[in-house]
């Protein structure tokens, strides 16, 4: 390791360091601008709400001076840029205001509901990756054959069927008719309060407590929604894997490996897939971010107490603080996952350095 460093002159090293610093600076600047944009969008949405927030507090029979005073207290008489500055300050102190519906600070609610969403999306992505990558590889290797058409059909159905509809059909068939899985919710009512939340993720908490009855029950509840999300992620991941693998398999190094007499298995899994793995990481991260978002509809169908359901519930009750807080949190997580995948890409692909 030191050899490599000693080979370079101090000038080259400092230049490399400078390039790195500039790249890192640009990266951080982009991130900051994107987050600033997120804040601007949520702020803007909060301002165009047709409901007058002052009237919502004082009621429509309040005398004019009370109205004016409350308006002043809420900071609504300040210029827009000033309000926006206050808003940014509040967000940085993790203060999204109180939820009207739960009468708790929105941040507390988010912390309470987010683990359920995270649990669902993580399991979904895991399932999607475990099944999606091999399917995509098979489709690329057996191009134009049955496996390829099969993967194509799976993908088309995944891209075309509304997820909430498939969820309802799934409940109808696997819960109501066949009785293979448990119904909506995270746990049966009997198990509901047996678990002390540690991480907020039922599966993890049950495993930590060693309570396997609860664990089995949780599995039976999460099986259907996570399989559904997993299916959507599979549709995307297998399609992308196929196209990356086709690209790799047409490269010359594959021919070289064949000429060298390597087994097809080693060429496919050891060489081609390893090279396709770098862009695949980005795809998987992207699909993860989309599942976090896409769980809004799934959570509604399965009465899953996650962030998506929190947002839709608040929406139906015109609870804007909760809606915007939840939206902002999902937006930030979305940006964070994308940024993370971008970093991984730079780390693993030497060409991007």
Residues 6+ apart with CB under 8 A from 301: 164, 167, 168, 171, 184, 225
Restricting to residues 20-79, name those near another protein by CB under 8 A: 30, 33-34, 37-38, 40-42, 45-46, 48-50
151 is a site residue for another protein (CB under 8 A): no
Query: Which residue, among 133, 130, 70, 98, has the nearest Cα to 325 in the 3D structure?
Result: 98
Restricting to residues 243-262, name those near another protein by CB under 8 A: 243, 246-247, 250
Residue of 156, 198, 213, 347 interacting with another protein (CB under 8 A): 156
Residue 96: helix, strand or coil by DSSP?
coil
Retrieve residue 165's tokens: 């509809």
Residue of 16, 73, 94, 165 interacting with another protein (CB under 8 A): 165
Where are any strands of DSSP class E within 100-207? Answer: none
Part in contact with another protein (CB under 8 A); list of ranges 1-9, 127-135, 214-222, 319-327? 319-327
Whole-Å CA distances, 327 to 39, 115, 321: 10, 16, 10
Residue of 111, 169, 343, 347 interacting with another protein (CB under 8 A): 169
How many residues at the interface with another protein, by CB under 8 A? 55
Give the separation between CA 111 and CA 107, rounded to whole angstroms: 6
Give the separation between CA 1 and CA 161, rounded to whole angstroms: 53
What DSSP character marks residue 49? -
Quick one: 203 or 240, whose CB is closer to another protein? 240
Binding footprint of another protein on the chain (CB under 8 A):
30, 33-34, 37-38, 40-42, 45-46, 48-50, 156-157, 159-166, 168-169, 171-172, 176, 243, 246-247, 250, 289-290, 292-294, 296-297, 300-301, 311-312, 315-316, 318, 320, 323-324, 327, 330-331, 334-335, 338
């Amino acid at each position: 390791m030191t050899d490599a460093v000693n080979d370079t002159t101090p000038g080259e090293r400092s230049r490399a360091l400078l390039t790195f610093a500039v790249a890192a600076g640009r990266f951080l600047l982009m991130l900051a601008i994107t987050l600033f944009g997120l804040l601007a969008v949520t702020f803007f949405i909060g301002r165009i709400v047709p409901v007058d927030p002052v009237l919502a507090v004082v009621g429509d029979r309040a005398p004019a001076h009370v109205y004016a005073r409350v308006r002043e207290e809420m900071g609504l008489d300040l210029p827009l840029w000033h309000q926006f500055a206050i808003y940014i300050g509040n967000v940085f102190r993790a203060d999204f205001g109180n939820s009207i519906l739960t009468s708790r600070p929105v941040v507390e609610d988010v912390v309470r509901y987010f683990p359920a969403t995270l649990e669902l999306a993580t399991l979904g992505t895991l399932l999607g990756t475990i099944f999606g990558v091999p399917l995509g590889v098979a489709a690329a290797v057996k191009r134009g054959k049955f496996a390829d058409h099969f993967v194509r059909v799976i993908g088309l159905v995944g891209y075309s069927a509304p997820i909430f509809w498939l969820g309802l059909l799934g409940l109808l068939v696997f819960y109501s008719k066949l009785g293979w899985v448990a119904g909506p919710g995270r746990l049966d009512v009997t198990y509901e309060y047996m678990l002390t939340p540690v991480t907020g993720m039922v599966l993890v908490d049950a495993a930590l407590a060693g309570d396997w009855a609860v664990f089995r029950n949780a599995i039976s509840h999460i099986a259907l929604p996570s399989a559904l999300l997993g299916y959507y992620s599979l549709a995307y991941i297998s399609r992308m894997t196929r196209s990356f693998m086709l690209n790799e398999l047409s490269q010359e190094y594959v021919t070289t490996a064949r000429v060298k007499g390597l087994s097809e298995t080693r060429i496919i899994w050891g060489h081609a897939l390893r090279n396709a793995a770098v862009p695949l990481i980005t795809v998987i991260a992207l699909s993860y971010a989309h599942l976090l978002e896409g769980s809004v509809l799934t959570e509604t169908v399965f009465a899953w107490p996650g962030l998506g359901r929190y947002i839709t519930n608040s929406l139906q009750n015109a609870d804007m603080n909760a809606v915007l807080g939840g939206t902002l949190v999902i937006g930030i997580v979305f940006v964070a996952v994308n940024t993370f995948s971008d970093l991984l890409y730079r780390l693993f692909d030497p060409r991007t350095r």
